[in-house]
Amino acid sequence: MKLYDYLPSGNSYKVRLLMSYLGISYEWVNLDIHKGETQTAGFKSKNPVGQIPLLELADGRRIAESNAIIYFLAEGTPYWPKNAFDQAKCLQWMFYEQYKHEPSIAVSRFIHNYAMEQRKDELPVLTKKGYLALDVMEDHLADNLWFVFSDSGGDGRSIADVALYAYTHVAGEGGFDLSKYPNIMAWLDRFSDHPRHIRITDKPT
């Protein structure tokens, strides 16, 4: 398999992280979004939306959207629950991540890291929305070790945790103070305590 990626991307990191946990090896193609490398005609013929991550299978078929890719990789493994209700709850958190969490927390991080001059006016609204997204996670984690406890034979983690970990653990780069969220902090530690954990900055070898 081949992963089209951009190393600092949390969306791509979800895929790298799950492949590491599952022991899957793959070819890594790093594209620099700041140099327009995802906007070329060549890349858009692979993904018309012009975004990474993009997973290309050995037979040439491709899957876009980070959470769809990690579903594909997790299906049949401990990271995807067995029963339909828990599967739906897993997707519920993953849609939450893409609708409420990523557009506020990941975009704040992007602005802080790359576009402070041009886009700083967006930060007050994004910050408010991001803290609301974190509040919901904090409340859930008061009574739960994981976002959904997967009954598929692993340690309980599911791809809902993978999806939410990606941008939560770097929320500080977007100006968010996680010290106000003890349950989230404990969950981040619990999640990263895995023998094959990798950091977002670790280049695949």
Q: Does 65 bind a second copy (CB under 8 A)?
A: yes
Q: Does 181 bind a second copy (CB under 8 A)?
A: no
Smallest separation, CB 68 to a second copy (Å):
4
Give CA 43 to chain center in angstroms: 22
Q: Does 48 bind a second copy (CB under 8 A)?
A: yes
User: How many Å apart are CA 66 and CA 12, to the nearest integer?
Assistant: 6
**Element spanning 188, H or E:** helix 182-192
What residues numbered 143-162 form the site for a second copy, per CB under 8 A?
Answer: none
> What contacts 28, CB < 8 A, 6 or more positions away?
2, 3, 5, 203, 204
User: How many Å apart are CA 133 and CA 127, to the nearest integer?
Assistant: 10
Q: Does 103 bind a second copy (CB under 8 A)?
A: yes
Smallest separation, CB 58 to a second copy (Å):
12
Q: Does 64 bind a second copy (CB under 8 A)?
A: yes
> What contacts 46, CB < 8 A, 6 or more positions away?
4, 54, 56, 62
Q: Does 68 bind a second copy (CB under 8 A)?
A: yes
Give whichever of 68 and 115 is closer to a second copy, judged by the CB atom. Answer: 68
Amino acid at 78: P
Among 22, 125, 136, 186, binds a second copy (CB under 8 A): 136
Give whichever of 83 and 192 is closer to a second copy, judged by the CB atom. Answer: 83
> What contacts 13, CB < 8 A, 6 or more positions away?
166, 200
By DSSP bridging, strand 27-30 and strand 2-5 are parallel
How many residues touch a second copy under the rule CB under 8 A: the total is 33
Among 24, 88, 115, 186, binds a second copy (CB under 8 A): 88
Binding site for a second copy (CB under 8 A): 48-49, 57, 61, 63-69, 71-72, 75-76, 84-85, 87-89, 91-92, 94-96, 98-100, 102-103, 136, 139-140
